[in-house]
């Protein structure tokens, strides 16, 4: 059996053709999970924007959501780490899809390896502006206030901000890559065998003496994913 990991699909961010390709490739990945997997980790930013109200969720193509539910119904464990574009997830994924939610990070074991998983936004010390913004956006009072906006105002506004955030991140991936490697190296010294991070949209693997760091890249055009079994840890991509 195998563990699959992917991140940063940013569903809803592209053209109709781009979105159709993303959904098709996610469905292909889910087929692979069904074939030989027993666990899937979604390492954040599955959607370019996700914000839940008490009685409403965003209107999205249900294909991916139904695919996740199907995996869970087959007995496959699905973990979801909230990213910077979807950390407003409330109870929908847990209560209706059967997903295990993680608000920031989590540690687990698989195939004899201790694994640390985190989406990774704000890890770079030089990204001080976002580190401040992250505290504002994740403040419970601010989230409560934002929910008071009418849905038809709040969601288009948030989508516009989300697109700006994604553009800002994409322009500076090359600057942050070294800092993410350093952060992962320090985390490995805590006793982990593998550190998995997303967010940067740049697939990366570094095998240190005491463990391995993998950045899962993105599932928007590169369609990167990680497969872990008893023999190996592989950073791969769909065609």
- Percent share of the chain, pLDDT over 70: 86
Among the residue ranges 61-65, 129-133, 174-178, 190-194, the one predicted with the least confidence is 129-133
Is this model's pTM higher than 0.85 or not? yes
Domain extents in the chain? 2-237
What is the structure's pLDDT at 171?
A: 56
Of the candidate ranges 8-22, 34-48, 78-92, the one whose mean pLDDT is the lowest: 78-92
Helix axes 173-188, 151-171, angle to 10 degrees: 90
Report yes or no: 69 and 107 within 8 Å, Cβ to Cβ: no
CATH number belonging to domain 2-237: 3.60.21.10
Please compute the mean of the pLDDT values over residues 143-167 and round it to a whole number: 68
Judged by average pLDDT, the poorest of 89-98, 116-125, 227-236 is: 116-125
Element (H, E) at 213: strand 211-215
Residue 102 has pLDDT above 80, yes or no: yes
Distance of CA 161 to CAs 10, 118, 143, Å? 13, 23, 15
Share of the chain above pLDDT 90, in %: 66
Q: What is the 3-state secondary structure (H, E, C) of 77-129?
A: EEEEECCCCCCECCCHHHHHHCCEEECCEEEEEECCEEEEEECCCCCCCCCHH
The tens digit of pLDDT for each residue in 39-88 reads 999 999 999 988 888 888 888 999 999 999 999 999 999 999 999 888 78
Going by pLDDT thresholds of 50, 70 and 90, the confidence category of residue 189 is: very high
Q: How far is CA 197 from CA 37, 119, 210, in A?
A: 20, 5, 17
């Amino acid at each position: 059996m195998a563990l699959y990991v992917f991140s940063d699909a940013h569903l809803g961010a592209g053209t109709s053709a781009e979105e159709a390709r993303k959904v098709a490739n996610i469905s292909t990945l889910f087929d692979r999970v069904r074939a030989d997997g027993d666990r899937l980790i979604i390492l954040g930013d599955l959607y370019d924007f996700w914000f839940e109200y008490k009685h409403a969720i965003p209107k999205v193509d249900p294909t991916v959501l139904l695919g996740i539910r199907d995996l869970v119904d087959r007995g496959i464990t699905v973990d979801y780490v909230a990213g910077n574009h979807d950390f407003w997830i409330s109870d929908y994924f847990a209560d209706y899809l059967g997903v295990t939610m993680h608000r920031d990070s989590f540690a687990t074991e698989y195939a004899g390896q201790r694994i640390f998983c985190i989406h990774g936004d704000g890890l770079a010390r030089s990204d001080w502006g976002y580190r401040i913004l992250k505290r504002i956006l994740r403040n419970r009072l601010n989230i409560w206030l934002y929910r008071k906006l009418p849905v038809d105002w709040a969601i288009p506004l948030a989508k516009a901000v989300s697109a700006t955030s994604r553009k800002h991140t994409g322009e500076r991936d090359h600057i942050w890559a070294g800092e993410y490697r350093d952060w992962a190296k320090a985390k490995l010294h805590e006793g982990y065998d593998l550190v998995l991070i997303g967010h940067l949209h740049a697939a990366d693997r570094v095998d240190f003496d005491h463990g391995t760091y993998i950045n899962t890249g993105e599932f928007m055009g590169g369609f990167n994913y990680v497969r872990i079994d008893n023999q190996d840890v592989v950073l791969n991509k769909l065609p």
